[in-house]
Each structure stands twice: as C-alpha cells, then as structure tokens.
Amino acid sequence: MSLFLIQALHVAAALGVFTALGAICLADKPGKGATILHGISLVLLLLVGLHLLVSQELLKSGGWWHVKILLWLVLGAAPALARRKLLPPAALLGILLALGALSAFLGLAKPF
C-alpha cells in the first residue's frame, strides 16, 4: 500500500474522531452513531499511526510519538469528560482541537 494512501487514511480517521467529538460535546443527548464513529475512528487512527511508525522505521526517532499516544488516550477519554460536564462543551471541544493540532505538529515536525 502506498504511503500517500496510508497517510490519507490516517487523516480520515482523525477527521472521524473530531466529527464524533463535536457531535458528542455539542449534542444534548448524543446518539449511538457518534459513539460508534468515535470508537471505530480511534482504533483506525491508532492502527494506521502505528503502521506508519513501523513502515517508516520511526520507532527510534525520539519520544514525539509517545506524546502522540498520550494525546490519543486523552481523545479516547473525551466522551466521558463531555458526559460529566466538567467543562462547558465549547471549551472542551476547543481544548480537544488544540490537542489535535499539537498532535499534528508532532507528527509533521518530529521535534524530539
């Protein structure tokens, strides 16, 4: 499979995660569809991301990908945070989008 196709699949999975998070955070009572999309997109995001790490031999390139996995865990726990209403939904979504931008920066720049 070509690298371009794998990267496009990774981006599509990230779009699925954030679409589902938007539906979960901003809906009064989110449906099961958003939760299912969130779970499937998270699994796809992780598997494709790990495939990219292994296929490009980036496992020993630094600790940036460890931080990306931690951010992935935060995105996975976000629906529980949204349901408990610890933060206003718009604030939570803004924080999650900022974490997504940080994750994209880490994947592109590989700063450490």
Rounded CA-CA distance 60/90 in Å is: 37
Cβ proximity of 99 and 71 under 8 Å: yes
User: Residue 24 is encoded by which pair of tokens?
Assistant: 């979960």
Rounded CA separation 17/69 (Å)? 14
* Domain boundaries along the sequence of the chain: 3-109
pLDDT in tens, 9-44: 999 999 999 999 999 999 888 789 999 999 999 999
Mean pLDDT, residues 67-74 = 96
Please list the helix, strand and coil fractions of the chain in percent, rounded to the nearest 5, in that order: 80, 0, 20
Q: What is the pLDDT of residue 1?
A: 84
Q: What is the pLDDT of residues 89-106, one digit of tens each?
A: 999 999 999 999 999 999
